[in-house]
Amino acid sequence: MMGEKYVVFQIGEGNYSIPLEEVTQIIRYENVTDVPTAPPFIDGVINFGGDVVPVVNLRTRFSLEHAEVSRKNRIIVVQKQDLRYGILVDSVREILDLERDSVAAEAASVFGMKAEFVRGIVKIRDYLLVLLDVFKILSTSPEISIME
Amino acid sequence: MAFTGLDERKLLRAFLEEAEELLEKLNDNLLRLEKDASNPDSINEVFRLTHSLKSESALLGFARLSELAHRLEDVFDSIRAENLTLSRPLMDAIFSASDLIHEIISRISRGQTDSEIDTRTVIGELEQLGGFGFRSEPEQSIEAATAAAAGLDRGEPTLKSFQRFQVSEALERGEKICRLTVRVSDEAQLKYPRAYLVFNSLELITNVIHTFPNMTVPQDDRLYEQLTVLLSSDLPEERITAVCAVDLIEEPKLEVLDRTQVAELLSRRDEGQKASVSTSRSSRIESSSVRVDTNKLNEIWQLVGELTIYKAQLSQLHDRLSRRRGNESIKGEVERATDSLERITAEMQQAIMGTRMVPIAVLFNKFPRLVRDLSRKLGKNVELDIQGKDTEIDRTIVEGLSDPLTHIIRNSLDHGLEEPEERRKANKPEVGRISISAHQQGGKIVIEVADDGRGLDVGKIRKKAGIDSEISDEEVAQHIFSPGFSTKEDVTDLSGRGVGMDVVATRIREDLKGEVDVRSESGGGTLIRILLPLTLTILHSLVISCAGYYYAVPVQDIKETVKISEQDVIVEEKNVYYDYEGQKIAILGLQSVLLGRADEGAQLGPDNDGVVVEQRRGRACLLVDELVEEEDLVIKPISDLLNHRRLFSGATVLGDGRIIFILDTARIIEIGESGGFDGI
C-alpha cells in the first residue's frame, strides 16, 4: 500500500501529526497581530500572502499551560476551501511516510483529547503519534472543549 | 456529440460565449422590430445573427439548433427581400423560436445535447407563417451552411475538418466532388445578386461544400466577378451546369476532381486556420471586448493585492537604507526604482479595478423582453423606459442584483399597474409606464424602478401590521420589506406589493450591502429605490484607533464625525445619549462594544472623537480614540473563528502590512440598541 506523508509536530509532551497535503506552508512565529475580540486560543492574525489568517494556539486550545514563544515555535498554515488557518505548534519534528494500515483503525481518546478529534494513533520507534483531524478542531465552536 | 478532447472543450466554450452574446443581440433586435417592423438595420442584423448561429452550431454538430437557426435565417432572408412582412403572429413565432434557442443553448452549457429538444412545432409554425415549405433534408442544408460559412478569402479552398469530413462522406456515398467556376459579366451592376442566383440553385440540387467568395455573408461586391463552388453530387454534369443558365453569368466551367486532386484537397491544412476563424468572427460580430472568467480576474486582483504589500515592504527597506551612511548612488537608484514600482502598482490596481466594472446594461437589457412577455400575458399595455445603461458597477453586484430587480419589475407589472379599463376610469393614459434608471451618486449606485400604477394602499398595510397613526405613511410603506409581511392571499387585497419583497430586501441588504426603500402615492404610482456600493471588494473607509488597535469604518455608513464634549451628552441611568440634530442617539464606547461589555457605558473624557454611523435600523455614535485617515481598502474575508460575534464584515491588509478589521456598523448599532447584551 502506498505511504502517505505526514508532518509531525510537538505540543507539550505530545507528538501530533496531520497529512502533508493539508499543509500550505510552515513558517516562523513572527508579526502576529493581536485581536482583542477573538477567543483566547487565537493568538492573533498574520498576513499570509495578502490574506488575513487567524493563528490558533493549539497549546491553549488543548488547555495546556501557557508557554513563552521560543525560536522553535512554528506556524503551520493549512487551507480548507477558501479559508486558511495558521496553527501554532511548539516545534515541527519531522516529515514521515506512514503506511495507512499501520495506523490504528479506531480513533480513541488519547492524551485526554476527545476521540472525535483523533483520526488515529501510530507507534513510531520510541514515541506515540496522534493523527489529528485539524479542520474539525478549527471548525469547533470556541466554547466547546477539545479535551475530555 | 461528446466533448472529450481539450480542443473540443475549448471550441465549445468559445461557442457558448459567443452564443450568449449573440442571443442578447438577437433579443434586442427582435424587440426593436416589434416596435418598428420595417427597420432595415434590425432585419439585416437578425439575418446576420441567425446565420452565424446556424453555421457555428453546425460546426459543433448541434443539428437541431442549426436547423432552427437556419429557418429563422430563411424567414429574415425573405423579409429582407420584401417577400414577407413581419406580421404579429409571425413575430410571436419568431419569439418562440428565439426562446427555444435560449433553452437549447442553456442545455448545451449544462453539458447536454440538443437532440432531445423538439424543434418541429416551432419550425412548422415558422414554415406556415413564412409561407414556404422548407426542404426536407435538414442535414444537407446545415452542411451547406457550414461550408459557406468557412468563407476563406482565397480561391483555393482550405477545408475545415467538418468540410473534409463532408468530402469523405460524399466519396463514400459514391458522389463526385466537383469544382464549378462561373464569371459574372461586367455588365451586371451588382454582381453579388447574380452570383447568389447560381449559388442558391446549386444549393437546391447539390451539396455545396465551400464557395469563394463567401456567399452567405455578402462581401465587397467587386469580389463576386468570379464564383468558385466546391460541391458534391451524383447528378450528371449537365444538370449541374444547367443552373448557370442565368442572364449575365458567363463561362461556366465544371471540373470533376480526380482522386489525386481530392487527396490534395483533403491534405491541405491551413496553419492559420484558427486565426482566420477568429478574424471572420470578429468581422461578423462587432465588439471590442472579450469575455473573461471572473475567477481569473479575482486571481489577478489577489496578486495585485499581494504586490502592494511587497511594494510597501520595499519602501520600508528603502527608508532604513537611506538612514545609513554611504552607498549614495545605490540609494538614489533604489529610490527611483521604488517610486516607479509604487506608481505602476497604483495604476495596475486602478486598471484591474476597471475590469471588474461592467455597464449595468448587461442587466437592464433583459428587461424589455421580460416586460413585453409579461404585459402581453397580463393584457396590459406598458411602455418601458430605461435610463443610465452605461452606469458601471461591479460584476459580482450585477450578478446578485439580477433576481431582486427582476422581481421588483414583475411586481410593478403584475400588481402595480392597473388594467387598461381601470386606468381609463382613473383618467390615466391607457398605456402604463415603467421606468428603470441607474446613476452614480457619490460612492454609490442608485437604481430606481418607478411605475405610474395604483400605488400602495398604506391604510391596509397599517391595519395589517397593526401600526398606530403616529407613524408616517412613508415609514409604514417600508413594511413591505419586512419578513413575512405579505402572503399570497393578500396580494390583490394590498395591491400586492409585498409578495417576496422581504426576500428582495434581504438579498439587497445582506448580500449586496445595499439599501432599498419605497415611496408611493395612492393612485400615483410606486417608486422603489435601491442604493448599492460601487463594488464589494474595495471599500472606502475611515481608519480609527481604539485602545491601541486600529479598525476601519466604511465611509458609506458614516453620517458625520463629531467632537463630543460633556454638554452634548444626555445621561439616562447607565446609558449615554448624544443629541444629534435633535435626535437622541446612543453613544457607544467602541472598545466596550467590541469586548462585549457595552453595558459598562461609555467613558467620556473632556474632548472626544465620535463617529455617527447610520443604517436603516438606526443611528449610533461610536466613541473612538482617534480618527486616523481615510483609505481605499481591499476587503478580505475572515474566518468565523475571528468573528464569532459578527462584529466585522472583513479585514484588510494595509500598505505597510498591518492588518485591521472592518466594522460591521449594522451589527454594532444592533448591539448598542440591545443595551450591549448580545448573548455572549
Give the tens place of pLDDT for each residue, B235-282. 888 888 888 887 888 888 888 888 888 877 777 654 433 333 333 333
- Is residue A145 assigned to a domain? no
Q: What is the ipTM of this complex?
A: 0.86
pLDDT at residue B156 in the model: 54
Give A 63-82 residues with CB within 8 A of chain B: 82
Mutate to test the interface with A, among B639, B667, B668, B680 (most CBs of A within 10 A): B639
Mutate to test the interface with B, among A30, A51, A85, A135 (most CBs of B within 10 A): A51
pLDDT at residue B218 in the model: 67
* Percentage above 70 pLDDT, chain B: 85
* Percentage above 90 pLDDT, chain A: 36
pLDDT band at B154 (very low <50, low <70, confident <90, very high): very low
d(CA B456, CA B462): 11
Chain B contact set for A46 (CB, 8 A): 659
**Does the pLDDT of residue B297 top 50, yes or no?**
yes
d(CA B194, CA B249): 7
More confident residue, A9 or B242: A9
Q: Parallel, antiparallel, or unpaired: how do β-strands B382-387 and B432-441 relate?
A: parallel
pLDDT at residue A101 in the model: 64
pLDDT at residue B545 in the model: 92
More confident residue, A131 or B134: A131
d(CA B466, CA B484): 14
Are B617 and B651 contacting, i.e. CB atoms less than 8 angstroms apart? Answer: no
pLDDT band at B449 (very low <50, low <70, confident <90, very high): very high
- The whole-number average pLDDT for the span B111-131 is 81
Instruction: Locate the chain B residue with the closest alpha carbon to A56.
Output: B641
pLDDT band at A85 (very low <50, low <70, confident <90, very high): very high
Answer whether B547 touches A (CB < 8 Å).
Answer: yes
Per-residue pLDDT reduced to its tens digit, B325-380 = 888 888 888 888 888 888 888 788 777 777 778 889 888 988 988 898 888 888 88
Size of interface A-B (CB pairs under 8 A): 61
- The whole-number average pLDDT for the span B12-35 is 84
| Contact state of A39 with B638 under an 8 Å Cβ cutoff | no
Mutate to test the interface with A, among B590, B638, B659 (most CBs of A within 10 A): B659
pLDDT at residue B366 in the model: 84
| Contact state of A52 with B645 under an 8 Å Cβ cutoff | no
Answer whether A56 touches B (CB < 8 Å).
Answer: yes
Containing H/E element for A74?
Answer: strand A74-80
Local structure of A29: helix, strand or coil: coil
**Does the pLDDT of residue A45 top 90, yes or no?**
yes
- The whole-number average pLDDT for the span B52-59 is 81
Residue B459 grid cell: 391604510
pLDDT at residue B277 in the model: 34
Are B233 and B206 contacting, i.e. CB atoms less than 8 angstroms apart? Answer: yes
| Contact state of A37 with B647 under an 8 Å Cβ cutoff | yes
Domain count along chain A: 1
pLDDT at residue B600 in the model: 60
**Does the pLDDT of residue B110 top 60, yes or no?**
yes
- Is residue A144 assigned to a domain? no
| Contact state of B659 with A47 under an 8 Å Cβ cutoff | yes
Compare CB distances from B636 to A33, A38, A51 and report the shortest one's residue. A51
Work out whether the CA dihedral A35, A41, A42, A43 comes out positive or negative. Answer: positive
Q: Average per-residue pLDDT in chain B?
A: 79
- Is residue A19 assigned to a domain? yes
Chain A contact set for B636 (CB, 8 A): 50-52
Q: Average per-residue pLDDT in chain A?
A: 86
**Does the pLDDT of residue B6 top 60, yes or no?**
no
- Is residue A147 assigned to a domain? no
Chain B contact set for A138 (CB, 8 A): 641
Residue A26 DSSP symbol: E
Are B543 and B551 contacting, i.e. CB atoms less than 8 angstroms apart? Answer: yes
Answer whether B656 touches A (CB < 8 Å).
Answer: no
Compare CB distances from B305 to A31, A33, A50 and report the shortest one's residue. A50
pLDDT at residue B599 in the model: 55
Local structure of B287: helix, strand or coil: coil
CB atoms inside a 10 Å sphere around CB B133 = 8
d(CA B201, CA B222): 21
Instruction: Locate the chain B residue with the closest alpha carbon to A137.
Output: B641
**Does the pLDDT of residue A58 top 70, yes or no?**
yes
Pick from B332, B305, B307: nearest CA to B318: B332
For cell 470533376, the residue is B256
d(CA B511, CA B565): 38
- The whole-number average pLDDT for the span B556-582 is 83
**Residue B623 pairs with which residues in a beta bridge?**
B589, B610
Local structure of B617: helix, strand or coil: coil
Containing H/E element for B365?
Answer: none
Answer whether B549 touches A (CB < 8 Å).
Answer: yes
Q: Parallel, antiparallel, or unpaired: how do β-strands A83-89 and A51-57 relate?
A: parallel
Per-residue pLDDT reduced to its tens digit, B647-657 = 898 898 876 77
pLDDT at residue A103 in the model: 67
| Contact state of B549 with A34 under an 8 Å Cβ cutoff | yes
B316-320, B619-623, B624-628: which range is least confident on average? B316-320
pLDDT at residue A2 in the model: 56
Chain A contact set for B302 (CB, 8 A): 50
Pick from B402, B390, B401, B386: nearest CA to B435: B386
d(CA B165, CA B59): 11
Q: Parallel, antiparallel, or unpaired: how do β-strands B392-394 and B357-359 relate?
A: antiparallel
Q: How far is B675 from chain A (nearest CA, A)?
A: 18
CATH number for the domain spanning A95: value is 2.40.50.180
Instruction: Locate the chain B residue with the closest alpha carbon to A37.
Output: B595
Q: Distance between alpha carbon B270 and the CA centroid of its chain, in Å?
A: 36
- Report the range out of A25-39, B56-70, B123-137 with the highest average pLDDT: A25-39
**Count helices and strands in chain B by DSSP H and E runs:** 22, 22
- The whole-number average pLDDT for the span B615-622 is 84
Residue B354 grid cell: 476597471
| Contact state of A52 with B309 under an 8 Å Cβ cutoff | no
pLDDT at residue A100 in the model: 65
Provide the residue range defining the domain that includes A131. Answer: 3-138
- The whole-number average pLDDT for the span B302-318 is 75
pLDDT at residue B561 in the model: 92
- Is residue A146 assigned to a domain? no
Residue B142 grid cell: 446545415
Are B627 and B544 contacting, i.e. CB atoms less than 8 angstroms apart? Answer: yes
Q: How far is B486 from chain A (nearest CA, A)?
A: 37
Residue B636 DSSP symbol: B
More confident residue, B537 or B80: B80
Mutate to test the interface with A, among B633, B642, B656 (most CBs of A within 10 A): B642
d(CA B637, CA B628): 23
Q: How far is B677 from chain A (nearest CA, A)?
A: 15
Per-residue pLDDT reduced to its tens digit, B464-478 = 777 777 888 888 888
d(CA B53, CA B170): 25
The one-letter code for the residue type at B85 is: T
Residue B655 grid cell: 500598505
Are B179 and B240 contacting, i.e. CB atoms less than 8 angstroms apart? Answer: no
**Does the pLDDT of residue B636 top 60, yes or no?**
yes
